[in-house]
Chain A
Amino acid sequence: MTLAAPAPGVDLDADAARPKPDTVGVREGGWFVRVVILAVVVFWLIPVVGVLVTSFRPEANVDSSGWWTVFAHPFRAGEWTLDNYSQALDAQGFENALLNSMAVAIPATTIPITIAAFAAYAFSWMHFPGRDALFVLVVGLLVVPLQMALIPILRLYVGGGQLWGVHVFPDLNLNGTFLGVWLAHAAFGLPLAVYLLRTFIGSLPSSIIESAKIDGADDFTIFWRLVIPLSVPALAAFAIFQFLWVWNDLLVAYVFLGGTQENRVITIALANLVGSRGENWHLLTSAAFLSMILPLIVFFSLQRYFVRGLTAGSVKG
């Protein structure tokens, strides 16, 4: 926080000196803002640059000199190679793994969002007994370590669930199916989804909701016509996180879908590329970048929803 201290002064002065008509109420940054931003970005980028540089270096070099040494003589022959990428891409079943990852990640993102949005609305704007307790329970479930949940769920998937000899959970044989993975991911993602969305939906001005109710709208209409459009940034934010989490997940897909060439998702393919003794760890550098491409596309395409204007809309509403 102390870092931020000089900023306002500079900012204020600059703005006071020459007020800009085009700034919509937010002061633009002076040099201080830019320096701080740049410093943090550089700090955050160093590890990534290390991986990026390494991913283009021959294996022998990776092991014998630091990645930063390439900057000393970046044009020397033999410093750069595409081998790591071609090796990672050539790994058996890479395209199939990519496809599987998409088939897992997209539904595992959309299903929990829809379910959580309804629940978040109820937790924010509807009154019913046990609301606080249920909400706390839902959020508290964030802390459940997945590893403890996998075996019981796997047993439900292959054998159903019995209580005093009565089947209370049908024997669906969901193991090894996409459906099984989606449901698991959807459920594991729900606590965070409900939690995040409730905060956003709950902070909408009550005047909007009240006036809609006075106009005779029922909860379903309010939710669908009013709350959802207003919550797009929050929905987009959660969509990004859930997508990233599912995309980068290794464990859930491994357990419920399996690690065979046919069924495995991209994270499993990449982890196996390296081998259990870690002999090929240099391949991970290229693999890490390959598997980052899609999540970054998702991030950039959803980022445009993080814009000002949410409140402008709500005031009109």
Chain B
Amino acid sequence: MTEVVETPSASEDEGLAERPADEPVPRAPWWKILVAFAILVAAYFTLQIAFDFLRDEDANRFLIAAVAIVIGVAGVFALFWAMNQIVDWLPSRLRENVRPYVFIGPALVLLSVFLVYPVINTIVLSFKDARSKDFVGFENYEFVFTDESMLRSIRNTALWIIVVPAVAVTVGLVFATLADRLRRGEAVAKSMIFMPMAISFVGAAVTFRLIYSYRPEGFGTNIGLLNGIWGGLGNEPVPWLSETPWNNFFLMVIMIWIQTGFAMVVLSAAIKAIPVELIEAARIDGASELQVFFKVIVPSIAPTIVVVTTYMVINALKVFDIVFVMGNAQSNETEVIAERMINWFFIANHDGRAAAIAVVLFLAVIPVMIWNVRQFREQEQTR
């Protein structure tokens, strides 16, 4: 592999593409090939210079960002173009077999190094002990499915992946559909829902502290909105976050609040892509607005709904920070799978158990993936 890290893929695909260069090439204009090679060579040296520059800690941040944008867009594009030119040069019967890999190659290489390798690493760790020294067989998995706290986390996570996507997608869809009909103020309304997405996690933690905060009698006035309202109605303050099992739902509200913006924006874009004629035709046929919604809009954007739901389910599977900062999960019984994983990994320092929990997360996503492949195939048939 070369030292050019931006283009680890380049060497792979290029290496393959180069071999047939020895064979006589039909029909390829010679200058195009030269240019393609020149670009690859130039790219190599440019990247090396850029690489050294980017490693220079004293360099101006603005300049770094500028160089990075050029590399990120122009450089990456040039890379694809050059690889594509070289593919053009292949014998025609090979050309179209190789080209798809040129298109997905860089993505696959990046993913292999940054995600697939860690996954395999995790799987190996899940069969080892706390310090990743000796293999312990299925001991860690046995723990995952017998520990009381783990079982609670699995139950809670099941709740999360049902409730959060259901509410977020429903609200997002209804909101996107209705906002589409506003004469004015659509952008403003959508921005308001979207705003929580722009708040960093520490910001969100503070936001909900101002809502759920609890102080019993004698510890001053309650500064949390919920207890403010509750107390205003003449009740004793309630420690919302330790009210098992309702506290799970109070935590889910936070995630719904943050994520609905995502669902709404993506679904809104999809709704806007529905051909106007389609909706008009339905209306002319006498469909009510409700029928238009369920018979035209929802089926048209079904693939997008699948995507958004999938993304929400996966995010709900991975949620941990919300649970983590909002109290002692174990004594509040609000554990979720990913929170247990972080806890075992960073707090209790048992890498084996943490890895086994992570593997359970990977496995939990398989049904969602199967559902996706079905949708994927269906879309192929119908478009």
Cβ-based interface call for B383 (8 A):
yes
Contact status A122-B72, CB under 8 Å? no
Binding site for A on B (CB under 8 A): 1, 3, 5-6, 51, 54-55, 57, 61-62, 64-65, 68-69, 71-73, 76-77, 80-81, 84, 88, 97, 99-101, 103-104, 106-108, 110-111, 113-119, 121-122, 170-171, 174-175, 177-183, 187, 189-203, 205-211, 220-225, 228, 257, 260, 262, 265-266, 268-269, 272-277, 279-280, 288-293, 303-304, 306-307, 310-311, 314, 317-318, 320, 338, 341-342, 345-346, 354-355, 358, 361-362, 364-366, 369, 372-373, 376-377, 379-380, 383
Q: Which residues of the other chain, B, contact A140 by a CB distance below 8 angstroms? A: 362, 365-366, 369
A27 touching B289 in the complex, CB below 8 Å, given contacts A3-B174, A143-B365: yes
A178 touching B1 in the complex, CB below 8 Å, given contacts A37-B182, A202-B303, A303-B191: no
Tally A-B pairs: CB < 8 A.
393
Contact status B273-A44, CB under 8 Å? no
A199 to chain B, nearest CB (A): 5
Contact status B181-A107, CB under 8 Å? no
Q: Which residues of the other chain, A, contact B119 by a CB distance below 8 angstroms? A: 141, 144, 148-149
The contact of B358 among A148, A183, A315, by CB within 8 Å, is A148
A152 touching B280 in the complex, CB below 8 Å, given contacts A199-B304, A220-B84: no
Leading 5 A-B pairs by shortest Cβ distance: A8-B289, A288-B203, A187-B114, A107-B68, A25-B276
Binding site for B on A (CB under 8 A): 1, 3-5, 7-9, 11-12, 24-29, 33-34, 36-37, 40-41, 44-48, 50-51, 54, 62-68, 96, 99-100, 102-103, 106-107, 110-111, 114-116, 118-119, 121-123, 126-128, 131-132, 134-145, 147-149, 152-153, 156, 168-170, 172-174, 176-179, 182-184, 186-188, 190-192, 194-196, 199, 202-206, 218-220, 223, 233-234, 237, 240-241, 244, 247-248, 250, 262-263, 267, 270-271, 274, 281, 284-285, 287-288, 291-292, 295-296, 299-300, 303, 306-308, 310-311, 315
Q: Which residues of the other chain, A, contact B72 by a CB distance below 8 angstroms? A: 106-107, 110-111, 114, 182
A311 touching B274 in the complex, CB below 8 Å, given contacts A143-B365, A288-B206: yes
Contact status B203-A287, CB under 8 Å? yes
Contact status A178-B211, CB under 8 Å? no
Given contacts A40-B175, A196-B266, 20 further A-B contacts (CB under 8 A): A8-B289, A27-B289, A44-B196, A50-B211, A66-B223, A100-B61, A115-B107, A118-B80, A126-B103, A128-B101, A131-B100, A136-B369, A143-B365, A168-B1, A179-B55, A183-B110, A190-B107, A223-B103, A248-B199, A284-B202
- Which among A45, A141, A196 has the highest number of chain B CB atoms within 10 Å? A141
A88 to B253, CA, bound (A): 28
B73 to chain A, nearest CB (A): 5
B258 to chain A, nearest CB (A): 10
A96 to B290, CA, bound (A): 53
Please, could you name 5 A-B residue pairs with CB atoms under 8 Å apart, sorted by A? A44-B260, A142-B365, A144-B115, A144-B119, A233-B273
Q: Which residues of the other chain, A, contact B354 by a CB distance below 8 angstroms? A: 148
Main secondary structure of the interface of B (DSSP, over half): helix
Q: Which residues of the other chain, A, contact B190 by a CB distance below 8 angstroms? A: 303
